Amino acid sequence: MDYREAGVDIEAGRTFVEQIRSLVTKTYRPEVLGGFGGFSGMFQLPAGYHEPILVSGTDGVGTKLKLAHALNRHDTVGIDLVAMCVNDVLTSGAEPLFFLDYLATGHLEPDQLTQVVAGIAQGCEMAGCSLLGGETAEMPGFYQVGEYDLAGFSVGIVEKSQLLDGSQVQIGDVVVGLASQGVHSNGFSLVRKIVSDRQFDWGDRPWQAIPVPDCLGEYHPEWLAEQTLGEVLLTPTQIYVKPILAARKAGLAIHGMAHITGGGLPENTPRCLAAGQSIQLDPAHWQVPPIFQWLAAAGEVSPAAMFDTFNMGIGFVVIVPTEQVEAVIRGFGTAGLAATAIGEVIAGSGEVLGLPQ
C-alpha cells in the first residue's frame, strides 16, 4: 500500500501548490521576508512605529460553506474568510499586515481549492495585507466528498497611542453605520433551515411581494429580481479596512468601532463601549436590505430574532464625536461606502436600546 491508496494524493498537493503560487505572491507587501513554500512565513515590522502593538484575530466562514458546496461555486468564500478576520482586527484601529489560512478537505481537488485561494488572495489585496502562509490538510474520511473547511488568522499593527480600547468613547457620541453587502457570513444555519423547510431551491428567484413587518421598512423585491437566492446569499462580506484607515489617516476622529457579525447589533456594538455606557439606535434611519425582509417573512422569524441573528444591513459601526459626523459620512461616501447616523451613545450598562423586542 501507499499514501495514495490511503486517500492522500501527494501529486495533487504539488499541483495545487504550483497553481496558487502566483496568487499568493501577488499579495506580498515589502515587509515579507523569504520565499513561497517555506515551513513558516516571515514578516518584518513596518518602520515608523514608536510603540507598535500587534493585534491578532481568527475566524471561519461557518455553514455558508454548505451553500458554496451546493452551488459548486468557490470563488467568494475566501473573501469572506479574510473579511471576518481583518474587520475584527480593524476594530482596534490596527492595519492588517498579514493573513494565514487553514484549508482542510477529504480529497484534494486542485482546481476547486485554487478558486478558494484565489478568493483569499483577492480579500488580502482588498485589505492591503499579505497572504503570508497557510496549511492544506487532506484527511480522507473526515469530510464528505467535494467538501472542505476553512479557518483564517490575521495579524495587524497599531501605534499604542492610536489603539482603540473603549476609553475614547464619550456619552453623546454618534453611532455611524456602514452598509453591509447582505448577509455576510453569519446566520447561515437559520438561512439554510428557512430555505430547506420552505422547500426553496438555491436557483429560485422567490422575490414576489410578501407581507413584511412594518419595523423592517418598505419591501423592494425589484432590488433582487435578477438574482437567484444562491447568488444573493453568496455575496461576500464587505471588507472595511481601506476606507476606515483612510478616514483615520485624514484626521477624522473615530472613538470606537464594531464589526457586526453573529449576534447582530445587540451583541456587537456594546463591545466597543466604556463602562457606564449604552447605545440608543433608531432602525428607521437606514433601509433594511430586502434579503433580510424576505428571510423574516419566508421563515416567519420575529424582528427581534432577526436583529439578534443578522447584521440587518449594517456591517460595521464607527462611533464619532457629533461635530465630525458629516465629515465622516461624506468621507465614506467618497470611498463608495454608504454610511448614515443610526444612533448615539447614552449612559447605561451596555444595553442596545431602540431595536424590536
Q: Tell me, what DSSP letter sits at residue 29?
A: -
Q: What is the pLDDT of residue 27?
A: 85
Per-residue pLDDT reduced to its tens digit, 96-147? 999 999 999 998 888 899 999 999 999 999 999 999 988 888 888 888 888 9
Write out the three cell numbers for 293: 425582509
Q: How far apart are CA 231 and CA 157, in angstroms?
A: 35
Q: Tell me, what DSSP letter sits at residue 239?
A: P
Q: Closest Cα to residue 338, out of 193, 159, 180, 210?
A: 180
Q: How far apart are CA 92 and CA 240, in angstroms?
A: 13
Residue position matching grid coordinates 437566492: 229
Write out the three cell numbers for 111: 482546481
Q: Which helix (H) or strand (E) holds 339?
A: strand 339-347
Q: How far apart are CA 218 and CA 221, in angstroms?
A: 10
Architecture of the domain whose range is 174-353:
Alpha-Beta Complex (3.90)
Q: How far apart are CA 152 and CA 168, in angstroms?
A: 29
Non-local CB neighbours of 330 within 8 Å, separated by 6+ positions? none
Where are the domain boundaries for CATH 3.30.1330.10 in the chain? 10-162
Does the pLDDT at position 259 exceed 60?
A: yes
Where are the domain boundaries for CATH 3.90.650.10 in the chain? 174-353
Does the pLDDT at position 23 exceed 90?
A: no
Which pTM does this prediction carry? 0.94
Q: Which helix (H) or strand (E) holds 99?
A: strand 95-105
Q: What is the pLDDT of residue 21?
A: 78
Does the pLDDT at position 190 exceed 70?
A: yes
Q: Do the Cβ atoms of 291 and 182 come closer than 8 Å?
A: yes
Three-state DSSP string of 168-226:
CCCCCCEEEEEECCCCCCCCHHHHHHHHHHCCCCCCCCCCCCCCCCHHHCCCCHHHCCC
Q: Do the Cβ atoms of 57 and 152 come closer than 8 Å?
A: no
Q: Is 50 exposed, middle or buried (0-12, 13-18, 19+ CB in 10 A)?
A: exposed
Q: How far apart are CA 46 and CA 61, in angstroms?
A: 29
Q: Which helix (H) or strand (E) holds 83?
A: helix 77-90
CATH 3.30.1330.10 fits 10-162, yes or no: yes
Phi, psi of 258 (to 5 degrees): -140, 135
Per-residue pLDDT reduced to its tens digit, 207-248? 998 898 888 999 999 999 899 999 999 999 999 999 999 999
End-to-end Cα separation, the chain, in angstroms: 62
Quick one: how many helices (H) and strands (E) in the chain?
A: 11, 12
Q: How far apart are CA 320 and CA 168, in angstroms?
A: 10
